[in-house]
């Protein structure tokens, strides 16, 4: 069983700090990424399997079309982001790492979750507002088509605020 306090400190916070200065660290971003992993997988599953790997990968359950869209339509528009992500992933010569890196490369998966949220134009909610965090997750990560609800996500974000 994973110690989520250590995961938060040594993986999530570290990954978000490594994105600097391209994407600024904030406590709100840390709460959002930590809460998202809790909602998506409860830090239990590294894969949402059907008949093979995916369709959602890693603790943050990112789907391949979302992953590819980030690399195609967002990363090129943010100066220095590609280099930062490749550095975090431990790659130096690929266009971008394969999506399966989200399974076991926790630094990279946490960073990709943050990048996913960075695409949203809306400001991050306050770090201590669990309800706003759950709404932000629903709107910008799970989306209207997703099965998750703000009500189901709320306890996870409450715990993310008060670890």
Return d(Cα 139, Cα 137) in angstroms, integer. Answer: 6
pLDDT at 26: 97
Q: Residue 97 pLDDT > 70, yes or no?
A: yes
Q: 94 is written with which tokens?
A: 């690929």
Question: Which is more confidently placed, 162 or 42?
Answer: 42
| CA–CA distances in Å: residue 137 to residues 75, 97, 140 | 21, 25, 5
Residues 122-135 have pLDDT tens digits of 999 999 999 999 99
Angle at 29 between CA 25 and CA 33, to 5 degrees: 125
For the chain, which residues make up each domain, given as ranges?
4-161
Q: How many helices (H) and strands (E) does the chain have?
A: 9, 3
pLDDT at 147: 81
Q: For the chain, what percent of residues have pLDDT higher than 90?
A: 83
Return d(Cα 78, Cα 65) in angstroms, integer. Answer: 20
The pLDDT of 1-14, averaged and rounded, is 94
Residues 16-67 have pLDDT tens digits of 999 999 999 999 999 999 999 999 999 998 887 665 555 899 999 999 999 9
Residues 144-161 have pLDDT tens digits of 777 889 999 999 999 999
Q: For the chain, what percent of residues have pLDDT higher than 70?
A: 96
Burial class (CB in 10 A: 0-12, 13-18, 19+), 108: buried
CB 157 within 8 A of CB 133: yes
Of 52, 45, 162, 54, the closest CA to residue 99 belongs to 54
pLDDT at 54: 58
Q: Residue 93 pLDDT > 90, yes or no?
A: no
Residue 90, sorted as left (phi over 0), alpha (psi -120 to 50) or beta, turns out to be left
């Amino acid at each position: 069983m994973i110690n989520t306090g250590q995961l938060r400190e040594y993986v999530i916070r570290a990954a978000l700090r490594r994105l600097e200065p391209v994407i600024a660290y904030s406590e709100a971003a840390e709460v959002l990424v930590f809460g998202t992993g809790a909602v998506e997988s409860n830090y239990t599953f590294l894969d949402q399997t059907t008949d093979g790997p995916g369709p959602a990968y890693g603790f943050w359950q990112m789907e391949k079309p979302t992953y590819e869209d980030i690399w195609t339509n967002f990363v090129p528009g943010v100066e220095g982001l590609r280099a930062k992500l490749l550095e975090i992933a431990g790659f130096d010569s690929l266009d971008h790492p394969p999506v399966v890196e989200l399974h076991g490369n926790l630094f990279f998966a946490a960073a990709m979750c943050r990048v996913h949220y960075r695409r949203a134009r809306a400001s991050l909610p306050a770090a201590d507002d669990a309800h706003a965090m759950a709404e932000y997750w629903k709107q910008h990560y799970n989306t209207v088509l997703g099965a998750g609800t703000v009500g189901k996500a709320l306890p996870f974000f409450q715990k993310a605020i008060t670890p």
